[in-house]
Structure 1
Amino acid sequence: MGLVFVIVAGLAAAICLLRLLLLKREIRGLTKLVRRYNDGETAAKLTMGIPDRDLEALAVEINRHTDLIVRANAERGRTEEELRQAVANISHDLRTPLTSIFGYIQMLDSRDLSAQERDEAIGVIRKRTLRLQALLNDFYELAMIDSTDYTLKPSKLRLDKLLPDILMGFHDEMAEKGLAPSFELDMRSITVLADESAVRRVVENLVVNAIRHARGTLGVRLEVRSDAAIFTLSNEAPQLSGTDTELLFNRFYMADASRSGVASGLGLSIARGLMSKMGGLLTAEMNGHTLRLICKWKLL
């Protein structure tokens, strides 16, 4: 009996020792694979050669951690590229009016200018300075919107009264650009909880964007769907066919690759930021060649 016990105990000890050796070999293998991953030699996931619940749980967490690292690196690369593009675009947007201002200042230094030419040069400088000021204000506002300290003052707003008032202020500019508005405004009482100045800025940014880029008919619609108030601007935009409409809200995306200096590309991004701060939603969609910008507020 004692001999059997010794044999069984020896076998158990041998099995435990063998399992311990296998586990140590597995740990060394996992360590080697993690080291190769850290050195960029492989992107393979960890797998277990022997069944062990604790080691399998460890491998799962390590794989999860490496996935997080991959996503973080991809996000960092995207952010760095966006930052490089942003710096280039900001530099371009600021350089354009500055170059013009400097050129006209040099012109003013000339003694051969008539009084009329001098007045015209000063007028151009004034316009370029105002443009530069508007750009700087946009950059500042965009930075502030992203800040947690940026707060709005929501109150009860009648969109059916506020939006027509805002739109009428752009009548002359639309006419100058040959833009023909087509209104479909629900004149029932449409009340939402929102910041009036923010709503005005959102609508103004959308309309200014349309005036700069749209031609022909501009569809303007205010309606109620379910429990939401929907404001839509639509216009023909064949140049955007096949474009991911989310790019329009990228703070430094420009559909016109030539970047003529007409727009900073920040208007739609600021509008979306303000809508988000109000608990609303701003989206874009393409239907054929028609671009729709859609604002959605929850009804009060």
Structure 2
Amino acid sequence: MLILTLISVAAAALLLAYSLVLRRELGRMTAQLRRHNQRTTGKKLEVTLFDKRLEALADQINCQSDLIVEAEANRRRTENELRQAIANISHDIRTPLTSIFGYIQLLEVEPITPEEKHEYLYIVKNRTKRLQALLNDFFELSLIESADYQLKAERIVMTVLLSDTLVGFYDPFNEAGLTPDIRLPKEPVAIYADESAVRRVIENLLMNTIKHAAGQVTICFGQRETTAELRITNETRDLSELDVRLLFDRFYTVDRTRSAQGSGLGLSIAKSLMNKMNGTLTAELQENKLTMVCRWPLWLQGEAYPHYR
């Protein structure tokens, strides 16, 4: 009986000691978390007491802290992108509007010849078209990035679609003094994707190439292990790694003066459409050669059709 009593007393003492140590450890963790939340330290929670459950709790708190930090960084980045986008679209809208208003004033006030009137109207018409294209692109990008925007998956023979699209760009390439080196496989390569979205992606990439290519253009398409891959490579001047990282941002243009006719939304639209189709669109810069790479997942016979989000 005495032995049982002594064992009980020892167990109670051990339990009390463990409770005191656990209480002290919880207090220390609370103080660490408070300093972290007050931004006085960036250290993660550390546990000195060997207890698997306590360590698991600290790990989960640290994971939650990481998620909060990531969410905050994403929020700041989104706010910066929004401010920059607002500044850019304000500039891109104000510029043609100012020009249109100025030429309308000339038409109203100045005694002008029929030739001058024709020239002014031509300029106003072009500025209006540019403004309309900008607003259409902005609306389209907003629509594509909305959760309600749906794409339809269907079987597309990419070799046929690419050939058809490239024929339509013969005149623009010729006018730009470019003769692209086109390499398509002899055997048909098929994917399941939204045809209009795929065509829009290719058209936007080709238009971007025509605007900015400084030399040889190479267009390659082929089948990899699990993907269909389109690579458009062109020589470029004055393009940095920073420019390449920002190419797909809304309203970003390499032209710092924003004097080019583009809206800066074409590549953003292409990127968003590729994401919707579970594909990828990336840019690579090597030795003054810019390569746009599109990858679509191949649909293999017997597999279920892909479902787009």
Q: TM-score, normalised by structure 2?
A: 0.86
Aligned to 1:41: 40
Deviation digits for residues 16-56 of structure 1 (CA, Å, limit 9, x no counterpart) = 32322222222222222222222222222222233233322
For residues 166-208 of structure 1, give each alpha carbon's deviation from its aligned partner in whole angstroms, at most 9, with x where no partner exists.
2232223223322232222334333333333222211211111
Contact 1:241 1:288 in 2 (8 A): no
SS at match of 2:250: coil
Determine helix, strand or coil for the equivalent of 1:30.
Answer: helix
Post-superposition offset of 1:5: 4.9
Q: CA deviation at 1:142?
A: 0.8
Q: 1:38 to 1:171 in 2, by over 3 A?
A: same
- Which residue does the alignment assign to 2:305? none
Aligned to 2:78: 79
Paired letter, 1:50:
L
2-structure distance, mates of 1:30, 1:280: 44
Q: Which residue does 2:304 correspond to in 1?
A: none
Contact 2:215 2:236 in 1 (8 A): no
2:88 is matched by which residue type in structure 1?
N
Secondary structure class of the residue paired with 1:249 = coil
Q: Is the 8 A contact 1:231 1:295 kept in 2?
A: yes
Paired position in structure 2 for 1:90: 89
Name the structure 1 match of 2:202. Answer: 203
Cα displacement string for residues 121-147 of structure 1 (whole angstroms, at most 9, x for unaligned residues): 111111111111111111111111112
> What is the DSSP-based 3-state SS (H/G/I as helix, E as strand, rest coil) of the residue aligned with 1:240?
coil
Output one character per residue of 1:256-286: Cα deviation in whole Å (capped at 9) or x when no partner: 3332242222111211222233343322222
> How far apart, in 2, do the equivalents of 1:263 and 1:36 lie?
49
1:229 and 2:235 aligned: no
* TM-fit CA distance, 1:14: 3.1
Q: Which amino acid aligns with 1:276?
A: N
Q: AA paired with 1:290? A: K
Query: In structure 1, what is the equivalent of residue 214 of structure 2?
Result: 215
Matched to 1:272, the amino acid is K
Question: What residue is the counterpart of 2:117 in the other structure?
Answer: 118
- SS of the counterpart of 1:234? strand
Q: Is the 8 A contact 2:130 2:261 kept in 1?
A: no
Paired amino acid for 2:82:
L
Which residue in the other structure is 2:69 paired with? Answer: 70
Number of positions where the alignment pairs a residue of Structure 1 with one of Structure 2 = 299
Q: What secondary structure does 2:156 align onto?
A: strand
Aligned AA (2:13): A
Tell me, yes or no, if the aligned pair for 1:93 and 1:261 is still in contact at 8 Å. no
How has the CA–CA distance of structure 1 residues 158 and 55 changed in structure 2, closer, same or farther, with 3 Å as cutoff? closer
**Alpha-carbon separation, structure 1, partners of 2:20 and 2:223:** 71
Contact map agreement 1:201 1:271 (CA 8 A) in 2: yes
1:200-258 Cα shifts (integer Å, max 9, x gaps): 21121111101111122221223334454333221112423434744322223322333
Residues 57-97 of structure 1: CA deviation (Å, up to 9, x unaligned):
22222222212111111111211111111111111221221
1:178/1:215 contact within 8 Å kept:
no
- Name 1:51's counterpart in structure 2: 50
The worse-fitting range, judged by mean Cα deviation, of 237-246 and 287-296 is 237-246
TM-score, normalization by structure 1: 0.89
SS in 2 for 1:112: coil
- Distance (Å, rounded) in 1 between the aligned partners of 2:111 and 2:228: 60
Residue 88 of structure 2 aligns to a residue in which SS?
helix
CA distance in 2, matches of 1:284, 1:234: 10
Whole-angstrom CA distance in 2 between matches of 1:142 and 1:273: 8
